[in-house]
């Protein structure tokens, strides 16, 4: 399949800054450069999965694109040559260096298949989707920053963020629960969920967002 990278995908940090500015901005609060780059790689991978249903002309094409990424994961975990895609190659390096779990990454792919169905998600489906997409990424990022961190706390915040981006009516209730959950996260893991503090405010400027993130990180609250 022709899955050519976007124009600036060779620089994953620049890519994420352009397509995912809230999570990119929250990643600036990760002090360690390597850890920050690893988290950015996760965000780039999640972006590739999220765009698969959006750019496909029909569900079959979207399924092919997601299957392409599932096969790329197989290459990474089976020690085979990884296809020449900047995000795939960067993710392979993170997996090798940090020992990311295969099932956790495959769950991210699986979550996006639901988006190929044009039917609206029921409440239960939306909650599962949010936890397995934005929630799962937040849990993985938190684990990269603090191996002893609370994955479920991070998942709750990431799920609320995902619902907020969809303007889902479940967002408000999930954010209340996430605000309680993130109190269990360490200061080092908190940047993995700080972007949830920006949920539901898509039109705020960068300066306002940065100030809110700074305040959230300083307090450990979203």
Which CATH fold would you assign to the domain 12-219? Farnesyl Diphosphate Synthase (1.10.600)
pTM of the full structure? 0.92
Tell me the per-residue pLDDT of 97-130, one tens digit each, with 9 for 90 and over: 999 999 999 999 999 999 999 899 999 999 999 9
Question: Would you list the domain boundaries of the chain?
Answer: 12-219
Residue 175 near residue 135, CB atoms below 8 Å: no
Q: How far is CA 193 from the centre of its chain?
A: 10
Tell me the per-residue pLDDT of 123-166, one tens digit each, with 9 for 90 and over: 999 999 999 999 999 999 999 999 998 999 999 999 999 999 88
Q: How far is CA 214 from the centre of its chain?
A: 20
């Amino acid at each position: 399949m022709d899955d050519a990278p976007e124009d600036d995908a060779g620089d994953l940090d620049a890519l994420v800054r352009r397509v995912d500015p809230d999570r990119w901005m929250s990643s600036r609060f990760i002090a360690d450069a390597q850890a920050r780059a690893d988290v950015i790689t996760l965000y780039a991978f999640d972006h590739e999965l999220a765009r698969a249903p959006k750019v496909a002309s029909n569900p079959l094409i979207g399924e092919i694109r997601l299957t392409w990424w599932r096969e790329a994961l197989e290459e990474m975990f089976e020690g085979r040559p990884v296809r020449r895609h900047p995000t795939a190659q960067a993710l392979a390096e993170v997996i090798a260096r940090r020992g990311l779990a295969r099932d956790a990454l495959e769950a991210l792919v699986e979550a996006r298949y639901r988006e190929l169905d044009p039917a609206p998600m029921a409440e239960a489906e939306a909650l599962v989707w949010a936890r397995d997409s934005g929630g799962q990424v937040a849990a993985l990022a938190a684990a990269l920053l603090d191996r002893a961190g609370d994955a479920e706390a991070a998942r709750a915040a990431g799920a609320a963020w995902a619902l907020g981006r969809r303007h889902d009516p479940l967002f408000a209730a999930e954010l209340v629960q996430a605000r309680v959950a993130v109190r269990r996260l360490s200061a080092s893991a908190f940047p993995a969920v700080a972007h949830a503090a920006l949920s539901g405010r898509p039109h705020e400027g960068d300066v306002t967002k940065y100030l809110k993130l700074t305040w959230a990180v300083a307090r450990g609250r979203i």
